[in-house]
Chain A
Amino acid sequence: MSAHTLSSANKPQPFSLADWWSRNQRKVIPYIFLAPFLLSFVIFTVYPAGVSLFLSFQRTRGFQQAEQGGGVVLEYKGWANYERLLTKDKRFREAMINGAEFWLGTLLVQMPLALAVALALNSPNIRFRILGRLAFFAPYITSAVVVGWIFRFVYDQNFGWMNSALAQLGIEGPAWIRDANLVMPSLIILGLWTWVGFNSLFFLAGLQNVPDDLKEAARIDGASTVRVFWHITIPFLRPVFVFVVVTGGIGSFSLFSQPYLLLDFPNTGPFDSGLFPLMYLYDMGFLNIRMGYASAIGYILTVVILIITGMQLLLFRLWKV
């Protein structure tokens, strides 16, 4: 407390909120700015996560009478939901395997293709830049529902454009989404169409961040194009790889709208070949009203996604060294 405050205490002033505010607003304002985020975080993330955890240990036993509210009657079942999901539930296992297959497709096909397209776009003397940018971005901003519908028709065995194109090449087209072995490739092709161009724009932005003089210097020192690519370009693309790989992993396991429309949910393809974890969660929670079981699916799915994301980040950290 300074002397100034003491002297002003002689002539007592009423506490003025406006005064206090003008002195302290800089300290207080960030909390006010953040309040909507924090409120929303507590109400729409923390609280539901808690409810979900509670529910995941319950089982739906029945329903209340309508006059009592028509709610769900729950019963504590301990780890039963988790146990069942992890050991007995074949559909859940199938859904997780399908997620993993799609993820592998993303990593092994989509990533290299996206990088190739980006390298092509980044090379000198490329025409159709503006057209390319529109064409590669358009699939990403198109509603997944629309994409699902279009591909359902495109994959039609007799009248779809896929098989018509194959027929031009003299190949008799398969049944695509009606063939258990081809549902996943069909979905991966749909995924390629949606995301290769989009991801290539990320790689392209990364490529344009690689300093030209560095490549120049390496070339003058006699490094081959391949060596420049491996030792300069690729390391510079690291953050883009992290982003594309991590979002690809999360996206693969949370695929929903595309298979929903493509396979005409509640159909999930022959032998559940197009069943994805979120579809199963939706099926259990909303069509079968087994909220507890569905919550447990949500938790297992989240843990799997977190583990995969963590593993990927760890690998990228090792790469940095």
Chain B
Amino acid sequence: MFKRKGKSAMGASRVSVMTMNTIVLVGVLLCAIPFVYMISASFRREGDLYKLPVTVYPREWTMHNFHTLFEKTEYVRWYGNTIFTASIRTVLGVYLAALAGAAFAKYDFRFKRFFFFLVLATLTLPFHMLLIPLFLLMRDFGWVDNYLAIIVPGMVNVFNIFLMRQYIESVPDELMDAARIDGASEIGMFHRIILPLVRPALGVVGILTFVWTWNDFLWPLVVLHDDAKYLLSNGIATMDGPYEVETGAIMAGSFLATLPIIIVFLLMQRQIIAGLTQGAIRG
């Protein structure tokens, strides 16, 4: 998506090229600084952090904060909890969104428009207005402090359905009709034709779901009370409380929690950005 458009020779004076490059570079720097702070603080002792003048690099590099993190808090456990729940929710979420997307993209049925209206309506509703009743529902289900509360209620995500529908529309109808003549079942076609053809989309929706689950804070805060059950976001948010750890350890925990997300993004940036922005451009 960063392909060069237009003719570079045309009208692009030296000054304007410089200005544009400067804007981008300043933007990059501003985006990077808080991350630099986080990483730098992870490798400092508290005294180094709260000493004037403030320095960008640690005066003395130390792994002390990571030891604190692993020994004084349940960090490793939170990490495992988060990988576990986010993975399950991602796999189920992608599959169910693809199912609904296929129904909207490839079939005609009664109430199709109405059902799609429901999807769009849910898309504009803030999920959090239902915080109280959803919590009460989880309590009635006995799902408080249970990962079912994290996985199930948000599993069918309407934004994902919306994205999957757009991708699945590009699957040729002729291909499906030919398969029908050959006696393929509808479910078989979903697994053997639709899913393989939209594999890149599955990746995008999967990564987005994974990142959202990984980063979500309010809902886990409401349904998980036992600190051994915490996800990373709850754990990191409460580190100053019961664990009384220092700034450096909080930043070290933040750093390790951010790392996998950034790496995944680095590997798939083109697809992720294209997937996200596609819906917005088409309106």
* Interface check B218, CB cutoff 8 A: yes
Q: A297 to B136, alpha carbons, bound, how many Å? A: 16
Q: Are B282 and A141 in contact (CB under 8 A)?
A: no
The digit string for A36-70, where 1 denotes a CB below 8 A from any CB of B, is 11101101110111011001000000000000000
Contacts of A38 in B (CB 8 A): 115
* Interface check A111, CB cutoff 8 A: no
Known: A41-B122, A138-B265, A150-B34. A281 touches B131 (CB 8 A): yes
The digit string for B154-168, where 1 denotes a CB below 8 A from any CB of A, is 111010010000000
- Pick the residue among B37, B132, B214, B273 that contacts A201 (CB under 8 A): B273
> How many residues belonging to A are interface residues under a CB distance threshold of 8 Å?
107
* Interface check A153, CB cutoff 8 A: yes
Prevailing SS type, chain B contact patch: helix
Q: Are B25 and A124 in contact (CB under 8 A)?
A: no
Of the candidate stretches A6-14, A81-89, A100-108, A236-244, the one touching chain B is A236-244
Q: A161 to B38, alpha carbons, bound, how many Å? A: 11
Of the candidate stretches B57-65, B66-74, B196-204, B231-239, the one touching chain A is B231-239
- Pick the residue among B31, B233, B251, B269 that contacts A139 (CB under 8 A): B31
Q: Are B126 and A250 in contact (CB under 8 A)?
A: yes
Contacts of A25 in B (CB 8 A): 185-187
The digit string for B18-47, where 1 denotes a CB below 8 A from any CB of A, is 011101110110111111011001000000
Prevailing SS type, chain A contact patch: helix
- Pick the residue among A22, A159, A278 that contacts B54 (CB under 8 A): A159
Q: Quick one: closest B residue to A150, CB to CB? A: B34
7 CB contacts below 8 A, A to B, read A128-B28, A150-B251, A205-B274, A205-B277, A260-B237, A294-B132, A295-B132
Q: A206 to B51, alpha carbons, bound, how many Å? A: 47
Q: A130 to B3, alpha carbons, bound, how many Å? A: 11
Binding site for A on B (CB under 8 A): 1-8, 11-12, 16-17, 19-21, 23-25, 27-28, 30-35, 37-38, 41, 49-54, 96, 99-100, 102-103, 107-109, 112, 115, 118-119, 122, 124-126, 128-137, 152-156, 158, 161, 180, 185-187, 190, 211, 214-215, 217-218, 222, 232-233, 236-237, 240, 247, 250-251, 254, 257-258, 261-262, 265-266, 269, 272-274, 276-283
The digit string for A201-241, where 1 denotes a CB below 8 A from any CB of B, is 11011101100100100000000010000000000001110
Q: Are A150 and B38 in contact (CB under 8 A)?
A: yes
Q: Are A33 and B103 in contact (CB under 8 A)?
A: yes
A-B interface, 5 closest residue pairs, ranked by CB to CB distance from nearest? A239-B283, A48-B133, A124-B8, A205-B277, A33-B103
- Pick the residue among A159, A197, A208, A240 that contacts B280 (CB under 8 A): A240
- Closest-CB distance, A255 to chain B (whole angstroms): 10
Q: Are A123 and B12 in contact (CB under 8 A)?
A: yes
Q: A128 to B119, alpha carbons, bound, how many Å? A: 39
Q: Are B273 and A133 in contact (CB under 8 A)?
A: yes
* Interface check A151, CB cutoff 8 A: yes
Contacts of B152 in A (CB 8 A): 44
* Interface check A2, CB cutoff 8 A: no
Q: Are A205 and B281 in contact (CB under 8 A)?
A: yes
- Closest-CB distance, A228 to chain B (whole angstroms): 11
Q: A22 to B233, alpha carbons, bound, how many Å? A: 48
16 additional contacts, CB 8 Å, given A34-B103, A44-B153, A132-B2?
A33-B102, A37-B96, A40-B153, A45-B125, A48-B137, A51-B136, A123-B20, A133-B2, A137-B273, A143-B214, A149-B254, A208-B3, A239-B282, A243-B283, A260-B237, A291-B132
* Interface check A26, CB cutoff 8 A: yes
Contacts of B27 in A (CB 8 A): 117, 120, 132, 135-136, 196-197
Q: A153 to B103, alpha carbons, bound, how many Å? A: 49
Q: A208 to B5, alpha carbons, bound, how many Å? A: 7
Known: A49-B130, A239-B281, A240-B281. A26 touches B107 (CB 8 A): yes
Q: Are A150 and B37 in contact (CB under 8 A)?
A: yes
* Interface check A126, CB cutoff 8 A: yes
Known: A135-B28, A142-B261. A254 touches B128 (CB 8 A): yes
Q: A117 to B26, alpha carbons, bound, how many Å? A: 10
Q: A261 to B24, alpha carbons, bound, how many Å? A: 29
Q: Quick one: closest A residue to B125, CB to CB? A: A302
* Interface check A187, CB cutoff 8 A: no
Q: Are B236 and A145 in contact (CB under 8 A)?
A: yes
Q: A149 to B41, alpha carbons, bound, how many Å? A: 12
Q: Are B41 and A285 in contact (CB under 8 A)?
A: no
Q: Quick one: closest A residue to B211, CB to CB? A: A141
- Closest-CB distance, B251 to chain A (whole angstroms): 7
Contacts of A164 in B (CB 8 A): 53-54
- Closest-CB distance, A116 to chain B (whole angstroms): 7
Q: A161 to B251, alpha carbons, bound, how many Å? A: 15
- Closest-CB distance, A243 to chain B (whole angstroms): 4
Contacts of B217 in A (CB 8 A): 143-145, 256-257, 260
